[in-house]
Structure 1
Amino acid sequence: MKKRQKAKMRKAGSIVFCAAVYIFLFLPISVIVVNSMNATTTKPYLSWKGFTFDWYIKLFDNDALLSSFGNTMIIALTSTILATIVGTLGAIGMYKYKFKGKSLIDGLLYIPVVIPEIVMGISLLTIFSKTNVPRGMLTLILAHVTFSIPYVIFNVRARLSGYDSSIEEASLDLGANRIRTFFEITLPVLAPGIAGGALLAFTLSIDDVIISYFVNGQTKTYPLKVMESIKSGVSPDVNALSTLILIGTIVLVVLTQTDILKRKKV
């Protein structure tokens, strides 16, 4: 009986602990969703005045907010594509070839990941100022590519750790050239690592505030626009757009997980 009681207490404790963790993680998100339907029209938009979906309609009249979100998506997509290409080729090159200073380059890849973002933002600002590169969309893309490349390399290299290079040799022996071997053999095998690195780069780009603040010039991104609005209170239309982004993210995750489950069954 004592063992059963202890087992029940452990189970109850585990449930309470898990519930507390999930509440801690998702309570801030639920606040954003609820506040996007707040009928209040007075700043700082903290008092609850009832439910309404008007902010989802008014959102499309906020040209500045939509423009900043458009800039964020352009920067994120462009920097993700560039970082994925450079990072994938870099990871393959580092895996296949041996050269002097390889261990040094390996170690330097961790610097953009571990250094404070404010240090990286200041360093990029200094470089752009010294080279007379006008701050704007171009500098934002270059900055996002810079801090995204290491993450792509790490993900692709993790996939390469279990890679059997003999399949490439077999492809070459059977008459395929190196380009065809890369696209038909190497790339499909590395696809999960490449996709993981690309998704991580995309997420980091959308989420970035500090580095973007130093190199943005007159180009406003969605995180910077939200940060500006904090001074006067985040309006519910910002919460409405954040909720739509959240819904899009959930749909993407569900579709991805569904596809993974289907593949496992097959």
Structure 2
Amino acid sequence: MPSGDRPALESRPDEALTPVRRGFKPPPWLRRLGSWSLNAYAAFVILYLLLPVAVIVLFSFNDPAGKFNFVWKGFSLEAWQDPWKYPALVDALKTSLQVAALSTLVALVLGTLVAIALVRHQFRGSGGVDLFLVIPLTTPEIVLGSSLLTLFLDFGWNLGFGTIVLAHIMFEVSFIALTVKARIRGFDWSLEDAAMDLGASPTRTFFKVTLPLIVPGIVAAMMLSFALSLDDFIITLFNAGSTTTYPLYVNNAAKTALPPQINVLATMILAASLALIGLSVVWQRWRTRGEAR
């Protein structure tokens, strides 16, 4: 055998007959216990998340004995028969819906364009833009609200509906931009080039090719932004002035009187949100099936 050649490895018969050891295989009872524990843990987490919502819905049917709706006294439909009993509560809800709709609309346009620019075009400083988008999400709301209050007062603006909308747009843009950006990160931009090669203008290409493909991400971002605006309390508290939104009304009412109509309106908002989510899911499935055909 030449000195440069290595001897071939010889396998011994006893090694070939030795069974290969596999990982530990738990007994059936242990596997059943692990499966039961996992299901029980998942059920506990779901119950923990749904319990506050269930309490809100349940106490909308309560018949409170006094001004506060904290103790269950009996089943009643009185609050549902007259959910608009308190004009101040209705006005606060209308204000919140108007603020959420207007701020979401403006933030949706700004955030979507920012997301497309960051993904579609690579430019110097794009990483810094990502950092600025994250800052409003990581900054405590009390810091954000007080900073915006100082800014508005320095400009000499009167606090009210307009400052609430501006404040909400500021943090909604970040949520929308990051959500849409995650959706279009894997977008095939050659489709745009193909459309323009066929004679479509950049504007027509955007509305006929790009926008329909990123609509699911835009819809998800819009729903998230609307919910965040409707729910915001701390930033709104700093910049509302004499304007009262639904969260501010609930906070003030909790100190003096908490009628069940608050729970009724909250249940209505919850039902509308679930309906919109359901319609969104159905629409996306229908759209996916249409594309598959």
Partner SS for 1:60: coil
Q: Structure 1 CA distance, aligned partners of 2:61 and 2:262?
A: 11
Q: Structure 2 CA distance, aligned partners of 1:112 and 1:248?
A: 28
Equivalent residue in structure 2 for 1:248, among 252, 262, 272 = 272
Aligned-pair CA distance for 1:157: 1.3
Question: Contact between 1:56 and 1:241, CA under 8 Å: does it hold in 2?
Answer: no
Aligned-pair CA distance for 1:238: 0.5
Q: How many residues align?
A: 265
Deviation track 1:28-60 (CA, whole Å, cap 9, x = no partner) reads: 111111111111230333332211010122321
Q: Give the aligned partner of residue 116 of structure 2.
A: 92
Aligned-pair CA distance for 1:247: 1.5
Question: Contact between 2:141 and 2:235, CA under 8 Å: does it hold in 1?
Answer: yes
Q: Give the aligned partner of residue 141 of structure 2.
A: 117
261 and 4 in structure 1: CA distance in 2 versus 1, 3 angstrom threshold: farther
* Structure index of larger Rg: 2
In the alignment, structure 2 segments of 5+ residues that lack a partner are 1-25
Runs of 4+ in structure 1 over 6 Å off: none
Partner SS for 1:61: coil
Question: Which deviates more, 89-98 or 198-207?
Answer: 89-98
Q: Give the aligned partner of residue 258 of structure 1.
A: 282
Matched, 1:159 2:183: yes
Matched, 1:217 2:241: yes
Question: Which deviates more, 67-76 or 40-49?
Answer: 40-49
256 and 160 in structure 1: CA distance in 2 versus 1, 3 angstrom threshold: closer
Question: Contact between 2:115 and 2:180, CA under 8 Å: does it hold in 1?
Answer: yes
TM-score, normalised by the number of residues in structure 1? 0.93
Question: Contact between 1:135 and 1:216, CA under 8 Å: does it hold in 2?
Answer: yes
Q: Structure 1 CA distance, aligned partners of 2:193 and 2:278?
A: 38
Q: Structure 2 CA distance, aligned partners of 1:263 and 1:165?
A: 20
Q: Structure 1 CA distance, aligned partners of 2:57 and 2:50?
A: 11
Question: CA RMSD of the aligned region, Å?
Answer: 1.7
Q: Give the aligned partner of residue 76 of structure 2.
A: 52
Question: Contact between 2:216 and 2:284, CA under 8 Å: does it hold in 1?
Answer: no
Question: Contact between 2:85 and 2:261, CA under 8 Å: does it hold in 1?
Answer: no
AA at the equivalent of 1:192: P
Q: Give the aligned partner of residue 197 of structure 1.
A: 221
Identical columns (%): 36
Q: Structure 2 CA distance, aligned partners of 1:25 and 1:204?
A: 18
Aligned-pair CA distance for 1:236: 1.1
Q: Structure 1 CA distance, aligned partners of 2:46 and 2:121?
A: 45
Equivalent residue in structure 2 for 1:17, among 41, 49, 54 = 41
Question: Contact between 1:139 and 1:215, CA under 8 Å: does it hold in 2?
Answer: yes
Q: Which has the higher contact order (CA 8 A, sep 6+)?
A: 1
Deviation track 1:216-256 (CA, whole Å, cap 9, x = no partner) reads: 11111111111111213532111111111112122222222
Q: Give the aligned partner of residue 147 of structure 1.
A: 171
Matched, 1:38 2:38: no
Q: Give the aligned partner of residue 237 of structure 1.
A: 261
Matched, 1:207 2:231: yes
Q: 1:64-103 maps to which residues of 2 (within 5 A)? A: 64-103=88-127
Question: Contact between 1:140 and 1:215, CA under 8 Å: does it hold in 2?
Answer: yes
Q: Structure 2 CA distance, aligned partners of 1:106 and 1:23?
A: 36
Q: Give the aligned partner of residue 186 of structure 1.
A: 210
Question: Contact between 2:115 and 2:181, CA under 8 Å: does it hold in 1?
Answer: yes
Q: Structure 2 CA distance, aligned partners of 1:264 and 1:103?
A: 33
Question: Which deviates more, 42-51 or 117-126?
Answer: 42-51
Partner SS for 2:66: coil
Deviation track 1:183-216 (CA, whole Å, cap 9, x = no partner) reads: 1111112212211211111111011000000111
Matched, 1:5 2:29: yes
In the alignment, structure 1 segments of 5+ residues that lack a partner are none
Deviation track 1:109-156 (CA, whole Å, cap 9, x = no partner) reads: 111110000111011111110111111111111111000001111112
